[in-house]
Structure 1
């Protein structure tokens, strides 16, 4: 099956789900890996084991020869006597040898001898042995032996007696192959038993919980909006329990994010409908303002230009609402702008009603010029100044001595920046608004506010390559500082103009 998720472009993109039949492949792999690991350990054990088997087999031959030699000491031919013919033949058959002799006290004594003796192809001296020669000799016999004749010699007992045997290598190789076969069967049995135990433990403690988490993720992916599909942690105290808890937390946060996105999508649709009707209303108001421009009354002529500019900006704002909803803000068309005059224009828009004692102070030097998009930066200042005015209007204290002032100031910052500050003497931002500044629908300081204003401000400032921050200050009130690049010109600070 496939699950559709939204791609960055907004189109559904199919996401392949893992085949359910492949869920147990991990278990099978773990079983095979465990068996191979045990078999590898058995191989490491087999190497010294087969070498010891070969050495023990050869020592047994020499010990038998020594016992036969000691038994023949009572023969008539002292020092060079051999066993009787039938006894010698029996000893050679028992040892599967061609010649048996012992060396005692520096004298060599023949015990038994076949009629014909092959030339020895391999000399094996058990007196001169170490782990490396033992292992090399064992694998030499296994891989290359079979048709060679060996001459075996070595001390027996306390070392005062040395036995010597000449025999074919075929019996040794045959017994070593039988021993290797038995070790192989035993290793397979041990590996299977150990692998099953390890598999059962891993399956119970690891594979099954992982399969449960995988199933929970698949179920959650089919319908992330359903809170009942969020995995329930088992409460284990190990890494699996931590993974379950983290997965549950991630799914819960993802479900919450999806709910918020759905709400935002519904809000965007509502805004689009309101935007459509609002544009029609503003267009009608614009037509009325055009008629007012023909009225010869001086007061009307003084009011109409700001009204026309405000209606034009309002129409532009309605068009930009959908752009913000698509997270696409048009690139700024930067021009050289006299900041002081732009602030004057902003003060005309955000001026409080008559009778509200709020002072608007434009402290920007008259000659200071910056490179910004006039319309977009007008929106920045309008949003910040309007928030400041609304904070002062909502101040419950009604005292004549209370200072209610909004100040916009700017000064050059080396090497090529302008620091713009918007400051008010209001009660300041609450903690919740400080924690969510510049976040849409979260950073509002007023009841019923959306927080879109500061989000739009931050987006426009960043698009200009600037930075905005809330300045920390010991006095009451709020101060936003904007650092903008691209200063064009500046002059000495002139007198403040109060609105």
Structure 2
């Protein structure tokens, strides 16, 4: 019981590890990116905003100075007591106020005139780029500079001038920047929260549900309850959910069919294994019957032997096809003519049966292939041809099986030609399909299916070139295996 609990805990732990944590999820990335992009937009807005704040602040001070100048110009500014001048300048934080009327310039109020002015600002002719540059310069490096601000105020044709330190200006700009930064951060958080909620509800949540469904389905693909239930929505997410549900349903059916086929194949293999043993015993008995001199026994013994041979071949073919996948070919250079002679010896063609075997392969012809696998390919093709021609008992018929070959560059082609009755249309349509491509009644079609698989493992092909009454040609195409460049270079470096 403890082992089962530990297995469930391990499975749950594995499932949790496959789930993306919140800190690395799409929603967290979306939230952080939204905050970052909104702050970036606020920064782009902030620079012209603080430049405008600086100009408005200076315009306000210049407007106040113009109002004071109008009052002073109605009387005699020189008669104004020193204390009163200081109070006037202190009220706006200036060092001096002057007015220019045409070519005449008058210094109205002055106190502690600075020795130099660091920056001259013409409010009427300050461009946008210059205003943003000067605003950043004041906010970052100002505080101890003296400014001369001049320009017209309202509809007046007089130009007013103001000499003022930038300390208070910089302080006001820093306070404004702080307020804008706090407001921008608040706007970013609110915007990011709204965008996060909307996109999380519309996109991230369905994607997360699909991810969970795929993980749950992978754990138990045969459970119908693990198939995702798509939402009724017409966007891309809805299409993805419906396609995922359809794919999971089809995969379940395919897995169920494969399980049934696997169970059936296992049962058939067991049955064939036992049947082969039974048929082997029956073959021994049939061989003994063939020695009996009774005419009635002699009449049916050959038929019994052929039937038993066919049954044994059938069971052996099924067992061979049901085994695990064929091993990768071990390729070597082979003398094809000698291999064809070995195939001829295995076929056991009765000379009295009227079937001729023609080995038309040149003695020097070589092929790059696995000896055992190529032998199986040729023997399967030749056995099918012999069985097809043996069915015709007419003495005048030409029954010949020929094997020839040719080479084009690095590609070898082997032709297996017989003069049998040809393949019927149904057999040609399912030529290399197991249990469906047989040309004779009672055949399995496994010989061609196995031969096709072995040739493909060599990187080649097996094809039916021609099949008409009196001529059937199969072509085996096998390319030479490519030479690795490093091995070729090593061989070239070896001393002779």
**TM norm. shorter chain > 0.5:** yes
- Structure 2 residue matching 1:325: 3-state secondary structure: coil
Show the counterpart of 2:32. Answer: 32
- Out of 129, 146, 155, which is 1:132 matched to? 129
Instruction: Name the CA shift for 1:119/1:321 in 2 (closer, same or farther; >3 Å).
Output: farther
Does residue 161 in structure 1 map to residue 158 in structure 2? yes
Q: In structure 2, list runs of 5 or more residues that go unmatched.
A: 1-8, 293-297, 481-496
Question: For the residues of structure 2 that align with 1:447 and 1:16, how far apart are their CA atoms?
Answer: 57
Structure 1 residue 445: Cα displacement: 7.5
| Residue 47 (structure 1) shift | 0.9
Query: In structure 1, how many angstroms separate the alpha carbons of the residues matched to 2:328 and 2:93?
Result: 99
Q: Give the 3 Å change call, closer, same or farther, for CA 36–20 of structure 1 in structure 2.
A: closer
Shift of residue 60, structure 1, vs aligned partner: 1.8
Q: For 1:483, which of 474, 477, 491 is the aligned residue?
A: 477
| Matching residue of 1:460 | 454
CA RMSD, 1 decimal: 4.9
Measure, in 2, the Cα distance between the counterparts of 1:411 and 1:36.
72
* 1:307-349 Cα distance to aligned partner (Å, 9 max, x none): 9xx99x9799689838941443663676424376456457657
Residue pair 2:272, 2:319 contacting (<8 A) in 1 also: no
* Range 409-418 or range 102-111, more displaced: 409-418
> Deviation of residue 16 (structure 1)?
6.9
Q: Answer yes or no: is 1:72 the counterpart of 2:68.
A: no
Q: Partners of 1:278 and 1:61 in 2: how far apart?
A: 112
User: In 2 relative to 1, CA 464–142 (structure 1 residues): closer, same or farther, beyond 3 Å?
Assistant: closer
Correspondence 1:427 to 2:421: no
Indicate if the aligned counterparts of 2:22 and 2:28 stay in contact, CA closer than 8 A: no
- Distance (whole Å) between structure 1 residues aligned to residue 10 and residue 462 of structure 2: 44
Residue pair 1:27, 1:199 contacting (<8 A) in 2 also: yes
What is the CA deviation profile of residues 96-126 of structure 1, one whole-angstrom value per residue up to 9, with x for unaligned ones? Answer: 1121112221221112222x34444631322
Moved more, 138-147 or 359-368: 359-368
Q: Distance in 2 between matches of 1:108 and 1:381?
A: 117
1:342-372 per-position Cα deviation (integer Å, ceiling 9, x unaligned): 56457657x9xx9xxxx96756526565546
2:212 is aligned to 215
Q: Which is further off, 281-290 or 331-340?
A: 281-290
Note if contact 2:359-2:404 (Cα within 8 Å) is conserved in structure 1.
yes
Task: Pick closer, same or farther for the CA change 1:159–1:261 going to 2, 3 Å.
Answer: farther
Q: 2: distance between equivalents of 1:242 and 1:175?
A: 56
Whether 1:365 and 2:364 are equivalent positions in the alignment is no
CA distance in 2, matches of 1:335, 1:284: 38
Would you say the 8 A contact 2:438–2:444 is kept in 1?
Answer: yes
Q: Report the equivalent of 1:63.
A: 63
Preserved contact between residue 465 and residue 484 of structure 1 (Cα < 8 Å): yes
C-alpha contact (below 8 Å) 2:423/2:467 kept by paired residues:
no
CA–CA separation in structure 2 for the residues paired with 1:85 and 1:332: 114
Q: Find the counterpart in structure 2 of residue 417 from structure 1.
A: 412
**Per-residue CA distance 1:193-250 (angstroms, 9 max, x = gap):** 3222211220121011111101211220120122342223335443323332443344
**Cα pair 1:391 1:426 within 8 Å, conserved:** no
**Correspondences of 1:68-107 after superposition (within 5 Å):** 68-76=68-76, 88-107=85-104
Structure-2 residue corresponding to 1:225: 222
Alignment of 1:266 onto 2:263:
yes
CA offset digits 1:57-100 (Å, max 9, x no partner): 112222222233233332247xxx57565764443233111211
In structure 2, the partner of 1:325 is 324
CA distance change for structure 1 residues 194 and 384 in 2, over 3 Å: closer, same or farther?
same
Can you list the C-alpha shifts for 1:396-450, whole angstroms capped at 9, x where unaligned? Answer: xx9x9xx9988655342433623314565232246862xxx64657867889976
Separation of aligned partners in 1, 2:318 and 2:90: 111
Partner secondary structure for residue 231 of structure 1: coil
CA contact (8 A) 1:23 1:211 kept: no
Structure 1 pair 391–189 and aligned structure 2 pair: CA distance change class (3 A): farther
3-state SS in 1 of match to 2:425? coil
Q: Which of 185, 196, 201 is equivalent to 1:199?
A: 196
Q: Is the Cα contact below 8 Å between 2:329 and 2:373 reproduced in 1?
A: no
**Contact in 1 for aligned 2:329/2:370 (Cα 8 Å):** no
Output the CA distance in 1 between the equivalents of 2:314 and 2:331.
18
Correspondence list, 1:5-16, <5 A: none
**Greater share of residues in helix:** 2
Contact 2:414 2:476 in 1 (8 A): yes
1:100-119 → structure 2 map (5 Å cutoff): 100-114=97-111, 116-119=112-115
When residues 40 and 57 of structure 1 are mapped into structure 2, their CA distance, relative to the original with a 3 A threshold, is same
Where structure 1 has 5 or more consecutive residues not aligned to the other structure, the ranges are 5-13, 487-499
Match of 1:469 in 2: 463
